[in-house]
Amino acid sequence: MTTYASQAFTWAPGNCSIKFTHSEEPLILPTKTGPKRAFPELCRDIVPACSLNPFLFNGHLQTAWTAVKYDGPSIHYKRRTFAAEDPGFKGHFAVDCVVAPPPSSGKASDGGPEDQGLRDDPVGIGHTSLPPRTTYFSNDEFDALASDDKKPLLIALHGLSGGSYEVYLRHVLAPLVEQSKNGSVAGLSAGEWECLVVNSRGCAGSKITSSILYNARATWDLRQTVKWCRKTWPNRPLFGIGFSLGANILTNYVGEEGLSCLLSAACVVSNPWKLEVSSLALQRTWLGMEVYSKTMGNHMRSLFERHREQVLENKALDEKRILSLKYLHQFDREVQCATWGYPTEGAYYRDASSADSVLAIRIPFLALHAEDDPIACDEAVPYEEIKQNPYTVICATSSGGHLGWFEFGGGRWHAKPMVAFLNAMARDIDHENLQPAALPAHGPRGGHKTPLEFEPMRRKAYVPSSSQ
């Protein structure tokens, strides 16, 4: 069941309506101060009114504006390259931890190679070209990271072919890690939060060391990172946020982990949810094909070109065919299917989609969506599944595009509800005393008893030697 709450607003150019969808039997959250809160009520209270740039008056304009170059908030990172522990997904991936700006850079927005820190990977993997304001941890710095502090830690995932440098991501991180007057603490942020970004393999200047790329189901590097965080900082509450493809991956991860999830709460922005639905929607229109799909296809082809030597270790791939591709679904057909054993891109999309994963989530989970998103289309949103799970709430605005939500003056509205949600979860909610919610049964509620059982995380692609 569901309840809807359209936020009241006075009509004006740029003002958006806000709709919440959630279970009729809400999750009850214990608080650190005593009074309990219904999860949907908390979400409605922390989400502010949405007023966007009136000149960007539809989803296409909001989405197109993400391509306009501007600095955005300055976030400095130190990177560590990890070797994958799962032998089935061998290779390396890079994790960027937010750190205090080096003394020489102050509040400068460009950072770059002159920033203090190592420019070469001490692990010996190397990189293609580090993003601005990013250097490597020295081995001594990395070994000194462990602590017993209780600061909340946010683990972020970026969108398709992006990285920790993305402006939409930094708009969320910046208010969480604002520096105190005393500067850094142990080389990391001196703000209330610690934050890090898991870069998909080959993204953000990281180097691919095997033929194994990432995909929309690539939860293995995130899982390893979360376990490392728990071991390194045993007392820190862990939280997650994902954007676009990273939102799909994070949703899948939280569903896969279920009651064993090490995250206390999570949120996602512009999740494409049902990948086949979103892909077919793109192919129905000229803008979808010739602008969005072609742009994303070009980005993935460029990633292949940067790492062609390693990727072509997979002899099932045909370099000439890959270089001739124009659209994202063609790249997925030619590369992802050959890499992961899917017969068609449709089979890959259906298997990697996160819509059913919603039913397995067992931590407070907030999704943010724009109804006019031309890439993560509204018809792909699993509203009915969200109604079935009291742990999940979706907040849908009438406008905002894909990872847009540009306000007049350059702000990004999506950062406000995400930061407010994360702060509420970290400051107010007593996660240790959160009791499992009573979940509605999937399927018939009386009468005929079916011999079948629905398992939302039962994937078609699996490792034969292990249970799913």
Q: What residues are labeled active site? A: 244, 373, 402
Report residue 437 as tokens. 């919610």
| 95, 225 contact by CB (below 8 A) | yes
Report residue 316 as tokens. 């099932």
Q: Tell me the CA end-to-end span of the chain in Å, nearest whole number.
A: 29
In angstroms, the CA 394 to CA 40 distance is 9
Identity of the residue numbered 307: H
Tell me how far CA of residue 183 lies from CA of 153, 191, 385, in angstroms: 18, 9, 45
In angstroms, the CA 313 to CA 297 distance is 21
Report residue 348 as tokens. 């890959």
Q: How many CB atoms lie within 10 A of CB 463?
A: 10
User: 351 in helix, strand or coil?
Assistant: helix
Residues with Cβ < 8 Å from 140, sequence gap 6 or more? none
Q: How far is CA 400 from the centre of its chain?
A: 17
Q: Count how many Cα atoms sit within 13 Å of the Cα of residue 164 in the half-sphere of its side chain.
A: 34
| 278, 245 contact by CB (below 8 A) | no
**In 3D, which of 262, 54, 295, 80 has the Cα closest to residue 188?**
80
| 165, 132 contact by CB (below 8 A) | yes
* CB environment 363-372: b (16+ within 10 A), e (fewer): bbbbbbbbbb
**In 3D, which of 435, 452, 347, 447 has the Cα closest to residue 391?**
435
User: 310 in helix, strand or coil?
Assistant: helix
**In 3D, which of 307, 313, 316, 356 has the Cα closest to residue 337?**
316
DSSP E strand boundaries for 122-275: 134-136, 153-157, 194-199, 238-243, 265-269
